[in-house]
Structure 1
Amino acid sequence: MRSKRNKTIDFTLEEASAKLLNQIIQPTDNLQKTSDKIINGDSFKVMTKLAPHQVDLALIDPPYNLNKHYDGLNFKKMSTSQYQAYTQKWINLLRPLLKKHASIYVFSDWATSIALAPVLEQNFTIQNRITWQREKGRGSQKNWKNGMEDIWFLTTDADNYTFNVNQVKQRRQVVAPYRQDGVAKDWQATKNGNFRDTMPSNFWDDISIPYWSMPENTGHPTQKPEKLLAKIILASSNPNDFIFDPFAGSGSSLVTAAKLDRHYLGIEQSLLYCAWGQYRLNQVKDNRTIQGYTDGVFWERNTLAAQRKLQRHKGEI
């Protein structure tokens, strides 16, 4: 029997209501004008049925080139050339869906990145490679623990793309505040502590992977945090833009897009993962919070108490 604090979403299909399952789109439906939905199907087939030139921001979290088990489906590690061909296949299907000035973010581990980089460079402009320090990782006696992941920031146009830098600042606590002529310099003194809102970098050390006491947590083995996805969505899209995720998993990108007033569409081959995602989407109307994103900025790890104190001061909780 699990703890009452365990908020993990991991119900079975038998436990899912018919109403919930009926909200999930099947690939036999007319998909040309589909929006704000999860499609249950094979991305490589479904993408051929979608309307062209509709995507402002694509979030791509494909299977990494590892042996991995996903709800009864196994992804087997390929040779580098085979994985590059697999990558080019989904890129060929994605490109017609993108708007002229779209942005694309692709997730990978360090080893997969070696295969990905040349293919991504051939098809898009690589603007940056973000390193996410996710902390959790299996230890090794003969190598360094793998606690990092890569996020490739790509654009279809080298010079014309969306990037809202002021919407993704990070709030850091000031330990040794510096004053000039008695006035705080580059930081804020508040009732809740001393803070500095810093410009975002390509090293993200403020985001934990979802864990059992977080309402967003599911049983998906490679779930991305809403906080991480919020950074990308806020930086590289605007309200009412269209967000697309062809490997949607348990719906984290779609849920985050909905919370941030974007339109979205996701494709996921596992009906169980679709059900978990749809369940989360149905909760957005009652809870639009994103853990770690408060007061329009992203906070460091282990600052939840300070965030709640600020919210109470503003009357938000």
Structure 2
Amino acid sequence: MVKTPGEWLNKLYYGDNLGVLRENVAPESVDLIYLDPPFNSNRSYNVLFKEKSGEESPAQMEAFDDTWTWSHETESLYIDLLNGDAPLAVKDALEAMRKLLGDNDVLAYLVMMAARLVELHRVLKPTGSLYLHCDPTASHYLKMLLDAIFGARQFKNEIVWRRTSTVKGNSGQGARHFGRNTDRILFYTKSDKYTFNQAYQPYSEEYIKKKFTNIEPETGRRFQTVSMLGPGGSAKGNPFYEVLGVSRHWRFSQEEMARLIKEGRVHQSKPGVVPRQKYYLDEGKGVELQSLWADIDALNSQAAERLGYPTQKPLVLLERIIEASSNPGDVVLDPFCGCGTTIDAAQKLGRKWIGIDVTTLAVDLIDARLRHTYTESIQDSYEILGIPKDLGGAQALFNRSPFEFERWCVMLVDGQPNEKQVGDKGIDGIIRVPIDAKGNSHRAIVSVKGGTTNPSHVRDLIGTVESQKAAMGVFICLKKPTKAMVDAANHSGVYTYPVNNQKYPKVQIITVEDLLKGKRPNIPTAMLPYFQAQRRYEATHQQMTFG
């Protein structure tokens, strides 16, 4: 793809968001930030609050699951924040939290978040907003950090998202608390001049029956009436005159009142009663959205958009945030972009976007999600950065994280890699090839080796293909295969593709160098991993309107 001068390309980064923000995102270049830092309410506070001495904390609450632990790296970052350019309020907050919490994993989480929130504040435009999605058990600590970084007066809302109306109770297992079915979304702005498009929810049937009690005989239109009296009377400069036989201080000028009467928008129930203004139901925008969001459910196991990602949020939730706090063409940033719901919503709503994630799996999932949803042509509108582009980069990734290297290789061949580093029996991923129009498929097992290889590795893959009753096997290696390895693969047999009876090598070898040059295994066209649902049709969410 050739990029024309001045053309904006959306950006998807693989890497630690702290480094990416510092090195690649310019100051005051982003209009809206949404972040959903990793947490999980399956870990208990008595683990996270454990001092490094081993002494248990008495707190018996639930908290977030993350990979951040108190370490030399955390200590170094803590010192850098105290000695660096972070606002004095941030330094004071961190010192206070250390005294309160001690050197445990919660403090490590907050130190890591403080460094990132400082950078997010730096890249946000003066007119920009930030929405931080968190668990109720973490929100009070994070709010202290946000107050210190943004300023307490820039706090706009603590949005309570009711994920579901009911949750599975654990009282039978001894739980002694109310069901936990809400998250918090902390809404901050960088200044008092920020983008905000008021959202409206449809009127409920109960509200309509209660408020819109009048029906216009001539048209059958339902309406409610509101006062036209000028609050404060003459003291507030409201004009005094007669309307339909009633003299009062009114909120409208005589000319404006005459226009309303002419248009039939003034209602007097009987002579002598103070006239009121008509508001028609069919012209109403709805009820202004409040800070309790109880109309969007979390994704259930049957949701068409569900990708199996543990913290995936509903698309409509991100659409609401993006529509409220940005305009078409604005830049939206998600520094913990996970499975890419923010990216998908930004793309759908005509915003530019930047996504960052620390796993190759997430980057590939977002790439596949965009291609699946918007067709392959979408790839021309974004670039993926931080992923190896040459053998040196591939070797560096292997040296840094063999598991991430394996997953990256599997994703290069449109396979679905293992989500966790477990005993995989030589299976590092699966490629699926369709065999009919019903979604049925055959499997090709992918095995990846970044270190020294030998013929036994190829023979092991051949055995795994047979024992797992897979159709094919693909062996990916960083180093050039030996002649004996190639010979072993050549004697693995053939696979006959049932769609057209074309024959393919049962097991084949391909190098990382070949993959980087654009070469792919000799297999039938693979299904995009993760997705079974059809491409999303072009439809807009009708839940509410924005004024």
TM, length-normalised to structure 1: 0.72
The total of aligned residue pairs comes to 255
Cα displacement (A) at 1:212: 3.4
Question: Are residues 1:115 and 2:141 paired?
Answer: yes
- 1:121-178 CA-to-partner distances (Å, cap 9, x unmatched) read 1111211100000026553321111100000000110x2101000xx21124414623
* Residue pair 1:209, 1:224 contacting (<8 A) in 2 also: yes
Letter in 2 for 1:149: D
- 1:34-88 CA-to-partner distances (Å, cap 9, x unmatched) read 74232122212211221312100000111137567xxxx9536755433322221
| Cα separation, 2, equivalents of 1:54 and 1:66 | 34
* 1:39 corresponds to which of 7, 10, 13: 13
* Residue pair 1:67, 1:76 contacting (<8 A) in 2 also: no
* Residue pair 2:68, 2:108 contacting (<8 A) in 1 also: no
The 10-residue stretch of structure 1 (39-48 or 132-141) with the greater mean CA deviation from structure 2:
132-141
| Cα separation, 2, equivalents of 1:236 and 1:162 | 5
* Residue pair 2:315, 2:345 contacting (<8 A) in 1 also: yes
Cα displacement (A) at 1:199: 0.8
Match of 2:124 in 1: 98
* Residue pair 1:220, 1:273 contacting (<8 A) in 2 also: no
Cα displacement (A) at 1:281: 1.6
* Residue pair 1:170, 1:199 contacting (<8 A) in 2 also: yes
* 2:222 corresponds to which of 184, 195, 205: 184
Letter in 1 for 2:194: Y
| Cα separation, 1, equivalents of 2:537 and 2:344 | 9
TM, length-normalised to structure 2: 0.43
The 10-residue stretch of structure 1 (133-142 or 233-242) with the greater mean CA deviation from structure 2:
133-142
Classify 1:40/1:217 alpha carbon distance in 2 versus 1 (closer, same or farther; 3 Å).
same
Question: Are residues 1:75 and 2:67 paired?
Answer: yes
* Residue pair 1:259, 1:288 contacting (<8 A) in 2 also: no
What residue ranges of structure 2 are gaps of 5+ in the alignment?
A: 2-6, 44-64, 70-103, 225-279, 376-534
Letter in 2 for 1:152: L
- 1:240-261 CA-to-partner distances (Å, cap 9, x unmatched) read 0000000000000000000000
* Residue pair 1:258, 1:284 contacting (<8 A) in 2 also: no
Please show how residues 188-199 of structure 1 align to structure 2 within 5 Å: 188=281, 197-199=286-288
Letter in 2 for 1:75: T
* Residue pair 2:126, 2:193 contacting (<8 A) in 1 also: no
Match of 1:152 in 2: 186
- 1:13-45 CA-to-partner distances (Å, cap 9, x unmatched) read xxxxxxxxxx9xxxxxxxxx9742321222122
| Cα separation, 2, equivalents of 1:114 and 1:290 | 38
Letter in 2 for 1:237: S
* Residue pair 2:202, 2:543 contacting (<8 A) in 1 also: no
Q: Return the index of the structure with the highest Cα Rg.
A: 2
Cα displacement (A) at 1:181: 4.6
Classify 1:290/1:232 alpha carbon distance in 2 versus 1 (closer, same or farther; 3 Å).
farther
| Cα separation, 1, equivalents of 2:33 and 2:317 | 14
Identity of aligned residues (%): 28
* Residue pair 2:285, 2:545 contacting (<8 A) in 1 also: no
Classify 1:296/1:146 alpha carbon distance in 2 versus 1 (closer, same or farther; 3 Å).
closer
Question: SS where residue 286 of structure 2 aligns?
Answer: strand
Letter in 2 for 1:164: N
Classify 1:268/1:66 alpha carbon distance in 2 versus 1 (closer, same or farther; 3 Å).
same
Question: SS where residue 266 of structure 1 aligns?
Answer: strand
Question: SS where residue 320 of structure 2 aligns?
Answer: helix
Letter in 2 for 1:44: L
Question: SS where residue 210 of structure 1 aligns?
Answer: coil
Classify 1:162/1:250 alpha carbon distance in 2 versus 1 (closer, same or farther; 3 Å).
same
- 1:264-289 CA-to-partner distances (Å, cap 9, x unmatched) read 01011222222222222221366465
Match of 2:158 in 1: 129
* 1:57 corresponds to which of 23, 26, 32: 32
Classify 1:242/1:273 alpha carbon distance in 2 versus 1 (closer, same or farther; 3 Å).
same
- Higher relative contact order at CA 8 Å, sep ≥6: structure 1 or structure 2? 1
Match of 1:8 in 2: none
- 1:84-130 CA-to-partner distances (Å, cap 9, x unmatched) read 22221111222221112210000011100121111111111211100
Question: SS where residue 111 of structure 2 aligns?
Answer: helix
| Cα separation, 2, equivalents of 1:43 and 1:34 | 21
What residue ranges of structure 1 are gaps of 5+ in the alignment?
A: 1-22, 24-32, 299-317
Letter in 2 for 1:40: Y
| Cα separation, 2, equivalents of 1:227 and 1:76 | 30
| Cα separation, 2, equivalents of 1:199 and 1:51 | 35
